[in-house]
Amino acid sequence: MLLAISQPTNITVKTNITATSTPRTTNFHKHRTTPFNSTLKSLCKWGNLDEALSLIESSKPTPIEEEEGISLFLHACISRRSLKHGRKLHLHLLRYQNRVLENPTLKSKLITLYSVCGRVDEARRVFRIGDENPPEPVWVALAIGYSRNGLSHEALLLYRDMLSRCVKPGNFAFSMALKASSDSGNALVGRAIHAQILKHDVGEADQVVNNALLGFYVEIGCFDEVLKVFEVMPERNMVSWNTLIAGFAGQDRVFETLGAFRVMQGEDMGFSWITLTTVLPVCAQVTALHSGKEIHGQIVKSRKNADVPLQNSLMDMYAKCGEIGYCEKVFDRMRRKDLTSWNTMLGGYSINGQINEALDLFDEMINSCIEPDGITFVALLSGCSHSGLASEGQRLFSVMQDYGVQPSLEHYACLVDILGRSGKLDEALTVAENIPMRPSGSIWGSLLNSCRLYGNVPLAEIVAERLFEIEPSNPGNYVMLSNIYANAGMWEDVKRVREMMAMTGIKKNAGCSWIQIKHKIHTFVAGGSSDLRCSDEYIKIWNELSNAIKDFGYITNTSVVLHDINEDMKATWVCEHSERLAAVSALIHTGAGMPIRITKNLRVCVDCHSWMKAVSEVTRRLIVLRDTNRFHHFEHGTCSCKDHW
């Protein structure tokens, strides 16, 4: 157990702590430039470590010069991870029984060198040379070495040993111990360290400790503590904000993530590429195109060139907001592309229904000598499935191994989906039953959806049983089987499935849709938003739309309401689907001709799909709807999916 354990309350951020900080007590005198040091510094700066080592071995500097020179040399070895030169210096010092390593700073640097080169045993041997109870920096250097090499538990044990030797921990030690607690997921020890920090009588914790504390609570998921620590921090820097934002994003707290980013900008904190790489996927998640475009604008205005990961995140945001044109522009203007860049563009084409463009890009990718991976083929196969290109999808699956890609469960799920959607249910079942690994829920789920498309009740019952075994708590499987029974008019079986759900406490996910208007995300739930539906504006727009789409030829398809109720009630329920509420709200609150972008948490129903096509025609608006499967671009009365989804 750790000494002086108390109740804690704070937060951490992932930080790269190095062991080369100067200890509180150092033997170094004020730096005085000498020919020896000047020459050595120049050699180390330009990486001429052989010559630098020869200079150390052949010269007879003063003790002060020697300590300063060895410090410079070790720092250069650490920067270049040059184990060879560090070892030679170490042997030189041992050969001549040089006592220079009694200096805790130099000893710490040699320990750090061995640890960054993965030589933990050698770092430990250096630690044990000389003083049995070294000062804090030496303990911390070895503990960081342990942590750096995945030995977080050993780092905490060393911290405990340090306390047992009555070595008083400082901010450097606290930061290390919190990082080790985060990495090992040891909430109890991390909280104990927090208590030590609160009791610490050598001034306040510094910025690095506060950030480490922030990161620790983010890592263990105690977000109430994260907010407490963040609020009481005397100063907040870029790392503090990035940790808070990453913590919100990691918990899928979308609105808080975007809100924290706005507050950060309001405080003139600026941003780093890490900040934007964290926020852009959140914009993509809720189709917050307006926020994503603002971030793009900040990138353009920045004096620095965006790195490849950030540009990939920007592409992904545009693709998942249905703006495939902007995604293409970012891709085409990238000076350097990695495999993720190509895969992001392929995936963007795929989910936006542009499979032909995806296939052309794949050919370009191969001609550019870019080797595809498993993600490449998932994008292509899923695109073929949703576009009805069964033959092309099967061909791509068959040539995967020619590119050194072994089919995974995801690829088999795509193949099953391709076969099932094309009506080849028996072939799809054969594939699912003969997969070389145990089939996942996604594979049987694809087949169950195909049973729904083709009304194959006997096969659906077989597949559903498999799914109930693999995913007993997934409400989607029960709802799918219930819908298949309802489509077949088998109401007793519908009742039986719903009773099964009630007995096991499984609840159907409510239909939910989102739109962004200016900086605010608006959420709509099926059957909800009664204040909106009863407002004069809504009623006016709804009535005008209803008359216009009726003239266009739209007729409500109540078969999508899979409940044994009368037709009038079915029509009412259809009109209250969340994506319709979102669309009408967008028509009220956005200017004429502005595109409408909606995200939905479930698959769009057939009737809402027809309704959206009609509304896009009568309003002359582009409506981009993203459901769980793909994007639907409704324009001039048609959909990009060509009614195949």
In a domain, 119, yes or no: yes
Q: What is the pLDDT of residue 569?
A: 62
Amino acid identity at 311? Q
- 230-239's contacts with Cβ under 8 Å and 24+ in sequence apart are 230/11, 234/204, 234/210, 235/207, 235/210, 236/269, 237/207, 237/211, 237/269, 238/269, 238/270, 238/271, 238/272, 238/275, 239/13, 239/15, 239/211
> Which residue in 598, 592, 611, 604 sits closest to 629, CA to CA?
604
Contact (Cβ atoms closer than 8 angstroms) between residue 477 and residue 448:
yes
Whether 73 and 220 share a structural domain = yes
Residue 271 structure tokens: 């941003």
In a domain, 209, yes or no: yes
Q: What's the whole-model pTM score?
A: 0.79
Say what the alpha-carbon torsion angle 599, 602, 606, 611 is, to the nearest 10 degrees.
Answer: -30
Residues 54 and 199 in one domain: yes
pLDDT attached to residue 548: 92
Same domain, 404 and 458: yes
Indicate the angle between helix axes 409-421 and 441-454, nearest 10 degrees: 10
- Asked if residue 29 is part of any domain, the answer here is no
**What's the pLDDT tens digit per position in 565-586?**
556 666 666 678 899 999 999 9
CB 453 within 8 A of CB 424: no
Same domain, 475 and 619: no
DSSP string, 181-239: HHHHT-HHHHHHHHHHHHH--SS---HHHHHHHHHHHHHHT-HHHHHHHHHH-S---HH
Res 574: pLDDT: 67
* Residue 337 in domain: no
**Does one domain contain both 10 and 138?**
yes
Give the pLDDT confidence score for residue 28 in this predicted structure: 44
Residue that finishes a domain, picked among 504, 532, 565: 504
- Per-residue model confidence (pLDDT) at position 363: 95
Q: Residue 197 and residue 168: Cα distance in Å, rounded?
A: 11
In a domain, 586, yes or no: yes
Indicate whether 56 and 83 sit together in one domain: yes
Both 581 and 487 in a single domain?
Answer: no
CA distances from residue 243 to 5, 179, 187, 273, 599 in whole angstroms, order as listed: 26, 13, 18, 13, 27
The CATH number assigned to the domain holding 120 equals 1.25.40
Q: For 376-416, what is each residue's pLDDT tens digit?
A: 999 999 999 988 899 999 999 999 999 999 999 999 999 99
* Higher pLDDT among residues 460 and 30, named by residue: 460
How many domains does the chain fold into? 3
> What is the DSSP code (8-state) at residue 509?
P
Token pair in block for residue 643:
């009614």
Count of beta carbons in the 10 Å neighbourhood of residue 475: 14
131 part of a folded domain:
yes
With contact defined as beta carbons under 8 Å apart, do 445 and 476 qualify? Answer: yes
Verify that 533 and 486 share a domain, yes or no: no
Instruction: Decide which of 235, 252, 278 is a domain's last residue.
Output: 235
Query: What is the Cα–Cα distance from 369 to 413, expressed in whole angstroms?
Result: 28
Query: Is there a single domain that holds both residue 146 and residue 88?
Result: yes
Looking at the fold, whether 129 and 203 belong to one and the same domain comes out as: yes
Helix/strand/coil for 524: strand
Is the same domain home to 56 and 203?
yes
Q: What phi, psi does 624 have (nearest 5°)?
A: -110, 115
Q: How high is the pLDDT of residue 528?
A: 82
Distances (CA, A) of 517 to 297, 587, 590: 18, 11, 7
Q: In this structure, are 542 and 482 located in the same domain?
A: no
Domain boundaries, position 624: 512-639
Q: CATH number for the domain including 491? A: 1.25.40.10
* CA–CA gap between residue 365 and residue 359 (Å, rounded): 10
Q: Identify whether the C-beta of residue 632 lies closer than 8 Å to the C-beta of residue 603.
A: no
Instruction: For residue range 52-111, list pLDDT tens digits in order.
Output: 889 888 888 778 888 888 899 999 999 999 999 999 999 988 887 767 778 899 999 999
Residue 354 CA to residue 323 CA, distance in Å, equals 12
| Residue 540 pLDDT grade (very low, low, confident, very high; cuts 50, 70, 90) | very high
At residue 30, the pLDDT reads 47
> Does residue 273 fall inside a structural domain?
no
Flag whether pLDDT at 558 surpasses 80.
Answer: no
Facing residues of 599 across strands? 514, 626
Where among 479, 504, 529 does a domain terminate? Answer: 504
- Whether 123 is covered by a domain: the verdict is yes
